[in-house]
Amino acid sequence: MTHRPSLRPLLLSAIASLALGTAPASAQHTTEADDHTTHSQIRQTAEVHDDERLAQDWGLSTEEWARYRELMQGPIGVYSPDLDPLTALGIEARSDEERRRYAELQVQAEARRVEKLLSYQRAYDAAWQRLHPDMPRVELPSAALATPDAGAQRAAVFVRDACTACDQLVQRLHADRTEIDIYMVGSRQDDAHIRHWASRVGIDPARVRTGTITLNHDGGRWLSLGLPGELPAVVHEVDGQWQRQ
């Protein structure tokens, strides 16, 4: 007698697969595609919300924020990668009306920022005097370069660490008793770093305490001035404009 192979094991195997939830390959691919689409939509929604929030923080519309991001992908972003939205849009304004709008927004934003900064600077100064009265004090980043007293011949000196020419320039100005405001580019807001540098180049702590020399984090100022040349740089204010010596 000829024996036919039984279909029962195959049938049981198929039933077991269905019971365990094993889906066909096409169904798995569809599910993965749906998951990818959902994640993309969630990410895009989050990015839109972020853009709306950032635009609102600067007093801009979402269209203006999108234009700022587009501008920073071009030449202005290459030359000045750290420009804030209002400055970038103001520089690239398409009309006098736009330019006035961004200038007014920036003045308002800077006024709010300076007010907060000065309040904290006073608290910082009091804490420094209380905790470390004999150590050179580092100035917190401010909205602009230090403003000299009337008639005073001060210079803003931009330097960076690991720069022999920078060290030599500061040592010469220090020896000449020149009143200077030193701005350390690339300090990463690290007070210990700038104090170590000042000690290494021989800056007298007493002159820092009296304010004839100030130690400052650059905070992007050098880049915002847009002056040509490499560091070090000595900069003076002439008729309201900062010019390199």
**Choice between 143 and 78, residue whose per-residue pLDDT is larger:** 78
Residue 10 has pLDDT above 50, yes or no: no
Rounded to an integer, what distance in angstroms lies between the CA atom of residue 44 and that of residue 91?
Answer: 29
Cis preceding linkage at 232, omega within 30: yes
Residue 154 makes CB contacts below 8 A (sequence gap 6+) with 146, 148, 179, 180, 181
Instruction: Return the minimum-mean-pLDDT range out of 63-77, 151-165, 175-189.
Output: 151-165
Q: Which DSSP state fits 161?
A: S
Query: Could you give the domains of the chain?
Result: 42-133 (no CATH), 135-244 (3.40.30)
Count CB atoms within 10 A of the CB of residue 64.
19
> Residues 74-102: pLDDT tens digits?
988 887 777 889 989 998 999 999 999 99
Check residue 28 and give its pLDDT. Answer: 58
> Residues 181-208: pLDDT tens digits?
999 988 887 888 898 999 999 999 888 8
Sheet of 233-238: strands edge to edge?
A: 138-139, 213-217, 180-185, 155-160, 233-238, 241-244
Residues 205-228 as b or e (16 or more Cβ within 10 Å = b): eebbeeebbbbbbbbebbebbeee
- The DSSP H or E segment spanning 73 is none
**pTM score, two decimals?**
0.46
- The DSSP H or E segment spanning 38 is helix 25-57
Q: How many CA atoms lie within 13 A of 214 on its CB side?
A: 17
> Residues 201-218: pLDDT tens digits?
999 988 888 888 999 988
